Amino acid sequence: MTARDWQKLITAAVLLGIAALLPLTGNAYWLSLGVSVAMYTVLATSWALFSGPTHYISLATAAFFGVGTYVMGSGIEVMPYWTLLPLAALAGGLLAALVGLATLRLSGVYFVIFTLGLAEMVRQCVTWYQNQTGHKGTYVLTELTEADIYWQLLGLAALVYLAGWAIQRSRLGFALRIIGDDEEVAAHSGINTALVKVALFVVSGLVAATVGAIIAPRYVYIEPATAFAPMLSFQVVIMALLGGTGRLWGPLIGVIPFTLLWEVISASFPNQTTLLLGLCFLLIVYVLPKGFVGLMQRLDLMRQGREAFA
């Protein structure tokens, strides 16, 4: 590791330490916002690990998240909490592997549609199963406080960043960038393109499922419509694109403003959220196609250009 790497690692650790102090303020509103930011950061960052380099837009976040929520919901009565987190991860990872193997040979458009349908399909299956057994939803009763949930999400965020950092510096990360640039060249260079894509999709799937499991106790009562809300998939895509997927920290700088904005929108216009979400999406794609990361790089280039002329 170089001196710069250490510097980055220490900066990240310090920021994480500061973020971990939030519950100590005792402000419930800020803490609940903090949980949202942490949750979306983990989801958007892990989403971007796969979708950033490959340009495959996955709308399966809600499916994985919901699966994790339900693993927690259906297991909490019979198993200890801590065993359910890895189980949820496993379930999300397996689902991602299956979907990946079935769809990643498809071209981008089919992939988007398939992943959108997936969340809906899993939701219908859960609903059907619950109807068979005469339930509407499931209670998730734990001793966990909002602060516990927040800290767990921060811990998961740290893991995701470390994993992302390790992947970027590995053969796997290099292979993924080559695939994103030209899949034909990747295959002809000796890269197992299907395996690489599935591997990264599995990472994003297992992380999203773990987030669902961690969040489940916060809902207290879960039902398919909330656990598999398709809105979540779109929010994650928008936040990741707003921040920019070109850097590991890109999604984070999309998540923070968007979560705050969303807080205002859902409080002031509770019936128009979908419409406003759509507008945000259009705006981002037109104004900031490469997100804040791209904007910063452009400004940087312009500054260098001016200095060169001065």
Partner 1 sequence: MRQAPVLSLRGATKRFGGLVAVDQLGFDVAEHQVMGLIGPNGSGKSTTLNLISGALSPTSGTIALKGQPITALSARAIARKGVSRTFQLVRMLPSMTVLENVMAGAVFGHRRRWGGSAEAHAIAMLEEVGMADEAGSPIGQLTYIDTKRLELARALAGEPEVLLLDEWLAGLNPTELEEGIALIHRLRDEGRTIVLVEHVMDAIRSLCDACVVMSSGKKIAEGTPEEVLSDPEVIRAYLGDDDA
Minimum Å gap between C-beta 63 and partner 1 is: 29
Beta-bridge partners for 221: 139
Give the closest residue to 92 by CA, choosing from 205, 233, 215, 199: 205
Give 69 or 245: the residue with its C-beta nearer to partner 1.
Answer: 245
Q: Give the Cα separation of 282 and 266 in Å (integer).
A: 19
Distance (Å, rounded) from C-alpha 278 to C-alpha 295? 21
Q: Which is nearer to partner 1, 196 or 240 (CB)?
A: 196
Cβ proximity to partner 1: between 4 and 188 the closer is: 188
CB-count exposure of residue 46 (10 Å: 0-12, 13-18, 19+): buried
Q: How far is the CB of 62 from partner 1 (least distance, A)?
A: 30
Q: Which residue lies nearer to partner 1 by CB, 174 or 281?
A: 174
Query: Closest distance between partner 1 and the C-beta of residue 188, in Å?
Result: 5
Q: Which residues contact 291 (CB under 8 A, 6 or more apart)?
A: 240, 241, 242, 243, 244, 245, 246, 250, 254, 284
Give least dist CB 297 to partner 1, A.
Answer: 12
CB closer to partner 1, 171 vs 303: 171
Q: Considering just the CA atoms, what is the radius of gyration of the chain in Å?
A: 20
Q: Which amino acid is present at 43?
A: L
3-class SS at 270? Answer: coil
CB of 231 to partner 1, least distance (A): 31
Q: CB of 192: closest distance to partner 1 in angstroms? A: 5
β partners of residue 138: 222
Report residue 31 CA to chain centroid gap: 20
- Smallest distance from the beta carbon of 174 to partner 1, in angstroms? 6
Q: What backbone phi and psi angles, to 5 degrees, belong to 190?
A: 105, 15
Closer residue to partner 1, CB minimum distance, 175 or 200: 175
Contacts to partner 1 by CB under 8 A: 171, 174-175, 177-178, 180-182, 184-193
Q: What is the rounded distance in angstroms from the CA atom of residue 48 to the CA atom of residue 55?
A: 9
DSSP three-state, residue 226: helix
Q: How far apart are CB 55 and partner 1 at their closest, in Å?
A: 11
* Coil/strand/helix, residue 269: coil
Nearer to partner 1, 146 or 183 (CB): 183
CA 18 to chain centre: 22
Nearer to partner 1, 76 or 293 (CB): 293
